[in-house]
Amino acid sequence: MDDNAFTEQLQTQEGLKLTVSPDTATADSVGYGHDILPEDNLHRGNTITIDTANALLEHDKAKAISDCENLYPGFDSFPDSAQLALATLVFNIGAARIPGYATTNAFVYKQDWKGLADYLSGPDWATWRSQVDAACSNGIIGNLYDAGGNPLSMQKLTFHVLSGKAWVVLGVCATVILAGTVWVKTKGFKRKLF
């Protein structure tokens, strides 16, 4: 998995917060979505430096990847975009909750990335999608479609018109539609989707 892509995905979806504040009903967070743990010795209202936020992010990324490797045998052999999607999902949900998602895991074990993307886009995951940033859910789902050989499902994307061009915002990539052709531009190159 591309470590830089994982970093960019998490930084984009989480944003940077240098003051410990509520994130969910059960946890406070700081940095790039780091849930405060007792061993962090941080409390609501404490501030951290950008260096500390980056160190917490690196720790949390390593934990999410390690958790994926433990949860999913063969994780390292999955397509990069599937690894990125699963690591981001585990980062957001937490490894302890993943075994309870039997249908989700069945798609992963079959390596049915398009099926998993469709499932995460459906009603069973609507509450989760409403609780996370659109960049997070769209990034995960888009990466799964990409891993499944069906890069994007157009009805699931958000279109924005800028300077007469229709742009699709999807995680850390942008798609432009010109003359009926859809292109994704990410990391300095573009790829024709269909």
Domain ranges for the chain, please list them: 3-192
- Cβ atoms of 42 and 30 within 8 Å: the answer is yes
| pLDDT per residue as tens digits for the range 113-152 | 999 988 888 888 877 777 666 656 777 888 888 887 765 4
Query: What pLDDT is recorded for position 150?
Result: 63
Residue 181 pLDDT grade (very low, low, confident, very high; cuts 50, 70, 90):
very low
Third-level CATH fold of 3-192: Lysozyme (1.10.530)
- Cβ atoms of 177 and 185 within 8 Å: the answer is no
Give the tokens for residue 72: 């999913």
| Whole-prediction pTM | 0.74
